[in-house]
Structure 1
Amino acid sequence: MNASPRRKELTRLAAQLFVQEGFDRTTVRMLAQEMGIKSGSLFHHFKDKHEILAAVIEEGTQNALNIAQQALDDCGRDPEVRLRTMARAHLETLFADRNAHVVALFEWRRLDPSASAHLRHLRDAYEALWVDVIDDALRAGILHGDRFLVARFVLGALNWTVRWYDPHGARTPDELADELVAMLLPNADTTNV
């Protein structure tokens, strides 16, 4: 991933436009206009529109992976604390870098095969963190069910919050994460989270 400040800014602007217009409806001309550059100058930074999409998804996924890993490193080994920590970290990345995550969630299928193969390792590494946390919670008996289904259910519920949750509303992202996790736990006490 090219980490130049200009490329990062262009990637951020592209993510915003992809969310507003959708990847298919976004033209190179629209991207250049949003970025304040000429269409030809865009190709100094990116090969084509698909490379821009890959850069948006790569940056968002890498950020999510970094935030989750740091949060897990700092929280200890208690399975319930780790589950809440991952949910909080997930929502933090969704709301801190919302556009990149919306693009990753809804436009992944638009990646060309080589970009998809390249980015799959980041997505898999992120999901592996979740699987470890869920396995710990299943072994501790605080979660019940099939690991695959639990993981899909949890990630699906957390991901869908980008459609309806208002971070400036009645609940903070941490409170929302705690309440969503409490719904999964049979004997959770939400007053002490």
Structure 2
Amino acid sequence: MSTSKTPSERRTHLVRLAGDLFAEQGFRATTVRQIADAAGILSGSLYHHFDSKESIGDEILSAFLEDVLAGYRAAVAGSDDPRAAIERIVRSSTATLDRHRAALTMLQRDWNYFSGQPRFGYLRTAMKEIEQTWIDLLERGRETGVFRADLDARLTYRLLRDILWLPTSWTSSKSWTTDQIVDGLLRLLFDGIKSA
């Protein structure tokens, strides 16, 4: 029985290795040679699978955003309850971010680079859809009395987005599970810290 990998398995392995390097060193600082060395192949061999380092980054980031947006769309589909939809988004986002740690770190470290490249123009489009989904839910909740009348939807979205992006690094410490982190965030969001 052969233990060699199929072309698609090799490609998946290379993407995972590259993602780890991009997350650790930054996308721009990581060279094709470093990716090839980590994979135990010659640099030229990498071009049998990808036409450039940007192609690898594109594969990592586009898969991440497709996963995020699928979760958002499912969370709001057929729901008239903004609180329930937000809870589903938080749970979906946390699971997605946990699966795509390298992509998240790449965006955090090199957003200015990616957002300035035409090849990665879909990033801004996806981020606008994500932001608009949150704002629509927060405003609907405010208008229907589910959320406070003085809620600033845009500011709340920015705060929650940044909070959601942080805990992915916490779960590696094993102090809390992903579910404990999500439950804590939702309690803080919906119930606050004030005594009843």
Per the shorter chain, which TM-score range? 0.7 to 0.9
Separation of aligned partners in 1, 2:136 and 2:104: 22
Matches within 5 A, 1:136-147: 136-144=140-148, 145-147=151-153
2:176 is the alignment partner of 1:176: no
Q: Residues 25-69 of structure 1: CA distance to partner in whole angstroms, max 9, x if unpaired? A: 311111112234321122233332233223221111111112332
> What's 1:134 paired with?
138
Separation of aligned partners in 2, 1:182 and 1:66: 25
* Structure whose alpha-carbon radius of gyration is higher: 2
2:111 is the alignment partner of 1:108: yes
Unaligned runs of 5+ in 2: 1-7
Higher relative contact order (CA 8 A, sep 6+): 1
2:80 is the alignment partner of 1:80: no
> What's 1:153 paired with?
159
Q: How far 1:113 moved relative to its partner? A: 2.0
Q: Secondary structure at the match of 1:46?
A: coil
Shift in alpha-carbon separation, 1:136–1:167, aligned structure 2, 3 A:
farther
Separation of aligned partners in 2, 1:181 and 1:142: 15
Separation of aligned partners in 2, 1:105 and 1:69: 23
Counterpart residue identity of residue 33, structure 2: R
Q: Is the 8 A contact 1:84 1:178 kept in 2?
A: no
- Ranges of 4+ aligned residues in structure 1 off by more than 6 Å: none
Q: Is the 8 A contact 2:94 2:182 kept in 1?
A: yes
Counterpart residue identity of residue 28, structure 1: V
Q: Secondary structure at the match of 1:44?
A: coil
Counterpart residue identity of residue 183, structure 2: D
2:63 is the alignment partner of 1:59: yes
Q: Residues 134-178 of structure 1: CA distance to partner in whole angstroms, max 9, x if unpaired? A: 233322334342111011010011112234x12673543233223
Shift in alpha-carbon separation, 1:54–1:153, aligned structure 2, 3 A:
same
> What's 2:5 paired with?
none
What TM-score comes out, normalization by structure 1 length? 0.79
2:95 is the alignment partner of 1:92: yes
> What's 1:117 paired with?
121
Unaligned runs of 5+ in 1: 189-193
Q: Specify which of 153, 166, 171 is matched with residue 171 of structure 2.
A: 166
Q: Is the 8 A contact 1:60 1:97 kept in 2?
A: yes
Q: Specify which of 15, 18, 31 is matched with residue 14 of structure 1.
A: 18
Q: How far 1:5 moved relative to its partner? A: 5.5
Separation of aligned partners in 2, 1:86 and 1:159: 13
Counterpart residue identity of residue 181, structure 1: L
What TM-score comes out, normalization by structure 2 length? 0.78
Q: Is the 8 A contact 1:102 1:162 kept in 2?
A: no
Q: Residues 87-110 of structure 1: CA distance to partner in whole angstroms, max 9, x if unpaired? A: 111111111221122212222222
Aligned length: 184
> What's 1:191 paired with?
none
Q: Is the 8 A contact 2:87 2:186 kept in 1?
A: yes
Structure 1 vs Structure 2 CA RMSD: 2.7
